[in-house]
Amino acid sequence: MKRIAVLTSGGDSPGMNAAVRAVVRKSIFHDCKVFGVYRGYAGMIEGDIKELDLGSVGDIIHRGGTMLHSSRSEEFRTVEGQLKAVEQLKKHGIEGVIVVGGDGSYRGAQKLSKHGIATVGAPGTIDNDIPGTDFTIGFDTALNTIIDSIDKIRDTASSHERTYVIEVMGRHAGDLALLSGLAGGAETILLPEVGHNMDDIIDRLERGAKRGKKHSIIVVAEGIGSGFDVAKDIEKRTQLETRVTVLGHLQRGGSPTGFDRVLASRLGAYAVDLLLDGKSGIAVGLEKNQLVHYPFDEIFQKPHQIDKQVYELSAQLSI
Ligand code: F6P
């Protein structure tokens, strides 16, 4: 294999640039030509593909977002779209593609491999919802962004003696809510993976108030529904003055943490090694600090799970 392409796809995440840099530099280190596919699968279909050199990935390791831009392409879900993309790759003589993204991006990569293009996925999403890796690229940065926000909200919650509901990202996964709630000292954490009962939450808040607790932080993963609904319920059923903050897309931006830069660099470079080793239809990950890889099929079959022990600990520490 002498011609490799890299793309970023789906929701961007801090560290994607570091992964692209690693792919480009490791490919050139191995005397391969490397191409950037711009705007994810949408750009692949349109042939938005350019050769990258060592300098084209200079000065990006510390930047959030993705220099290659990203998209969620509806057209690529169709066989016609996939075949158009394959044709564009063939025009450039590209034999292997590294896709940095989440679950949907991996499904696209698997389609490409079925059309004869070798593919390796690298987990890039703030949600940390990809099986086969302990952490996804961008999760640590987003986690720290949320913790910083919780700390700030805690100041005003304490000054005004209010209850705050903070809604964080995580469509199907509660990892961001769980770990930020634990690290931010939240009284209650609501996750899509664990059912909740509003009666218990109200009870807990009222017991806290009776004990003299003046303010509370409730972290809600967007996957359970709207933070506004939770807050409305609390205000209706208690005397607690409640406010809501939806952190939204600010969680996706910012300079990647050291952890995310190192993770992205290791996974990007490893993806190149595996492609050059003749592997395809697989995704890379880091488990117990060891580089690992699994076939896409295996990853799609494993359900994402939260760490139950950490969840129980968060409940024990917030009594
Ligand atoms: O997949 C990452 C993510 O940030 C989710 O947490 C969130 O639900 C979703 O993307 C938002 O997607 P979009 O930016 O397309 O609105």
Percent of the chain with pLDDT over 90: 97
Ligand 1 site: residues with CB under 6 angstroms? 11, 102, 125-127, 169-171, 222, 252
CATH code: domain of residue 100: 3.40.50.450
Query: For residue 159, how far is its CA from the centre of ligand 1 (angstroms)?
Result: 32
- Residue 138 above 90 pLDDT? yes
- Residue pLDDT, tens place only, 139-189: 999 999 999 999 999 999 999 999 999 999 998 999 999 999 999 999 999
Judge if 134 and 144 occupy the same domain: no
> From CA 204, how far away is CA 177, in angstroms rounded?
19
26, burial (CB in 10 Å: exposed 0-12, middle 13-18, buried 19+) = buried
From residue 82, how far is each of 3, 51, 70, 153, 278 by CA, in Å? 19, 21, 17, 46, 22
Sheet holding 242-246, edge to edge: 188-190, 216-221, 163-168, 242-246
Give pLDDT, residue 72.
Answer: 96
Among 54, 100, 238, 63, CA closest to 162: 238
Q: Whose CA is nearest to atom 15 of ligand 1?
A: 11
- Note whether 130 and 176 are same-domain residues: no
Six token digits for residue 253: 């931006």
Q: How far apart are CA 71 and CA 105, in angstroms?
A: 10
Looking at 194, 227, 252, the residue that finishes a domain is 252
Can you tell me which atom of ligand 1 is nearest the CA of 171?
8
Number of H helices, E strands in the chain: 11, 11
| Domain ranges, residue 52 | 3-138+256-301
Task: Say how many Å lie between the CA of residue 33 and the centre of ligand 1.
Answer: 32
Residue 306 belongs to some domain of the structure: no
Kindly report, residue by residue over 91-121, the tens digit of the pLDDT. 999 999 999 999 999 999 999 999 999 999 9
Token readout for 203 is: 């009870």
pLDDT range class, residue 18, cuts 50, 70, 90: very high
d(CA 27, CA 171): 34
Q: Is the pLDDT of residue 249 over 80?
A: yes
Question: What is the atom index within ligand 1 of the atom nearest the CA of 170?
Answer: 6
Q: In the predicted model, what is the mean pLDDT of residues 221-226?
A: 96
- Reading the block at residue 179, the tokens are 């770990």
> What percent of the chain lies above the pLDDT cut of 70?
100
Both 288 and 174 in a single domain? no
- The DSSP secondary structure of 43-75, one letter per residue, reads HHHHT-EEEE-GGGGTT-TT-SS-TT-----SG
Last residue of a domain, one of 252, 268, 289: 252
**Pair (71, 156) in one structural domain:** no
All residues at 6 or more sequence positions from 217 whose CB lies less than 8 Å from its CB, including other chains: 150, 153, 154, 157, 163, 164, 166, 181, 184, 185, 186, 187
Q: Is 103 marked as binding a ligand?
A: yes
What residue spans of the chain are helical by DSSP H? Answer: 16-29, 40-46, 79-91, 103-114, 139-160, 175-183, 198-210, 227-237, 258-276, 296-301, 308-317
Q: What is the pLDDT of residues 40-70, one digit of tens each?
A: 999 999 999 999 999 999 999 999 999 999 9
Tell me whether residue 105 is annotated as binding.
yes
Identify which of 103, 105, 141, 169 to mutate to test ligand 1's pocket (most ligand atoms within 8 A of the CB).
169
- Provide the CATH number for the domain around residue 236: 3.40.50.460
Q: What is the pLDDT of residue 36?
A: 98
Q: Residue 288 domain-assigned?
A: yes
Q: State pTM to two decimals.
A: 0.97
What's the pLDDT tens digit per position in 30-40? Answer: 999 999 999 99
Structure tokens at 251: 């969680």
Q: Is the pLDDT at 319 greater than 80, yes or no?
A: no
Q: What is the mean pLDDT of residues 192-217?
A: 93
- Rounded-to-integer distance, Cα 44 and Cα 156, Å: 47
**Could you tell me which residues are beta bridge partners of residue 291?**
286
196 and 49 both lie in a single domain: no
* Token pair of 76 as six digits: 């690529």
CA distance 281 to 272: 13
Alpha-carbon gap, residue 110 to 101, rounded angstroms: 13
> Which atom of ligand 1 lies closest to the CA of 251?
4
Any domain includes 208: yes
Q: Does one domain contain both 119 and 91?
A: yes
Are 242 and 294 in a shared domain? Answer: no
136: CA distance to ligand 1 center in Å?
14
Answer yes or no: is 63 a known binding residue: no
Structure confidence at residue 318 as a pLDDT band (50, 70, 90): confident
- Asked whether residue 173 falls in the same domain as residue 295, the answer is no
Q: Are residue 222 and residue 261 in the same domain, yes or no? A: no
* Residue with CA closest to ligand 1 atom 12: 11
Q: What is the arithmetic mean of pLDDT over 5-31? A: 98
168 annotated as ligand-binding: no
Length of the chain: 319
pLDDT confidence of 8, banded at 50, 70, 90? very high
Residues 203 and 163 in one domain: yes
Same domain, 24 and 93: yes
Look at residues 195, 227, 252 and tell me which one is the last residue of a structural domain: 252
Ligand 1 centroid to residue 266 C-alpha, Å: 25
* Residues 124, 32 within the same domain: yes
Q: Between the CA of residue 71 and those of 23, 65, 136, 157, what are the distances in Å?
A: 20, 12, 18, 37
Tell me if 260 sits within 8 A of 151, measured CB to CB: no
248 carries a ligand binding annotation: no
At residue 91, the 3 state secondary structure works out as: helix
Containing 99, the helix (H) or strand (E) segment is: strand 96-101
pLDDT score for 245? 98
Q: Say if 307 falls within a structural domain.
A: no
Q: Per the domain annotation, does 263 fall within a domain?
A: yes
Q: How far apart are CA 143 and CA 125, in angstroms?
A: 12
Active-site positions?
127
Q: Whose CA is nearest to atom 3 of ligand 1?
A: 11
Residue 134 lies in a domain: yes
In a domain, 318, yes or no: no
- Mean pLDDT rounded to a whole number for the chain: 97
Nearest to 204 by CA among 147, 153, 196: 196
| pLDDT of amino acid 67 | 98
Could you give the number of structural domains in the chain? 2
Tokens representing residue 196 in the block: 């909740």
pLDDT digits (tens, 9 = 90+) for 271-314: 999 999 999 999 999 999 999 999 999 999 999 999 999 999 99
